[in-house]
Amino acid sequence: ASHRVGWGTVFADFDNDTHLDNYVCNIQEPNRLYRGKAVADWPLVDEAPEAGVDVFWDTYCVSVGDVDNDGDLDMLVGNTNRRVNLFINNSSDVKSNNWVRLDVEGATLNRYGIGTCVEVDAGGKTQTREVRSGTNYKSQDEFTLHYGLGAHEKISEVRVYVPGGGMRVLTNMPANHRWTIYTPERMGDVNNDGMISVDEIRQAMNARTGPGGVLTPGNEIFDMDGDFDIDTADIQLMGIGVLEPTPR
């Protein structure tokens, strides 16, 4: 391990194997990358040179996000008095693993669902992420929550805990997609006006899949019961929303 003072640090699953990896920015010494494992080796082995991310300049800032929208995390590194480095993740390890990416969308002022905690169950393992703002030293990661799933193609359950006490449970979520998760008060309310209109119910009927059908990204707001199809049960729940608008 490094004996220098570390600055910007991220824990992220760069190879989508379900284990968080650790990238550490250093000054007076190259940056370091430690791979997460089920049982960690000790001392930790620096894999930054092998991955090509062993930046030699004085580095204070780092942020991660899927820049090229291919289902893995890329990295932006800020150096003192030099241009930033953008590292696109083309690792061979990541190609054989599955993933899911979740965008939380709230109502009114908390548009990005800051503070929302999302648990994903897959392959008998639970992974927890939180939508955070100001995630690192002078930098910000993307708001999208990223989960590496390893060899697991099925997500058994997703639990969404919203600031203020709201909760949703989702089932049958397909892997290898980017999905939008709406907080409870946003469900069915496409235009975010605090109520469900007849026109919004009509939109849901047009997006209807039937029981066990395949929900497509973009229609998640109509899946009222969270089972990843749009059927009669969802339409009926939206009808209740027309009669009882969500208070704001």
Give the pLDDT confidence of 97-113 residue by residue, as tens digits: 999 999 999 887 888 99
Highest mean pLDDT among 56-60, 136-140, 149-153: 149-153
Is residue 29 very low, low, confident or very high in pLDDT (cuts 50, 70, 90)?
A: confident
Residue type for 77, please?
V
* Stretch 27-32: mean pLDDT: 87
Is residue 135 very low, low, confident or very high in pLDDT (cuts 50, 70, 90)?
A: confident
pLDDT digit string (tens) for 36-71? 987 667 778 889 999 999 988 888 899 999 999 999
Distance, in Å, from the CA atom of 49 to the CA atom of 32, rounded to the nearest integer, reads 8
pLDDT of the residue at 57 = 84
Residue 12 or residue 3, greater confidence: 12
Is residue 164 very low, low, confident or very high in pLDDT (cuts 50, 70, 90)?
A: confident
Tell me the CATH class for 96-243: mainly beta
Is residue 32 very low, low, confident or very high in pLDDT (cuts 50, 70, 90)?
A: very high
Mean pLDDT of the residues in the chain? 91
Residue type for 125, please?
K
Distance, in Å, from the CA atom of 43 to the CA atom of 190, rounded to the nearest integer, reads 51
Q: Which helix (H) or strand (E) holds 197?
A: none
pLDDT > 60? residue 248? no
∠ Cα 186 188 190 (to 5°): 75
Number of C-beta neighbours around residue 44 at 10 A: 16
pTM to 2 decimal places: 0.91
pLDDT of the residue at 243 = 46
Q: Which of 110, 225, 106, 218 is nearest to 168 (CA)?
A: 225
Domain residue ranges of the chain, discontinuous segments joined by +: 6-94, 96-243
Under DSSP, the state recorded for 246 is P
Assigned token pair, 217:
């990204």
pLDDT > 70? residue 1? no
Assigned token pair, 221:
């707001």
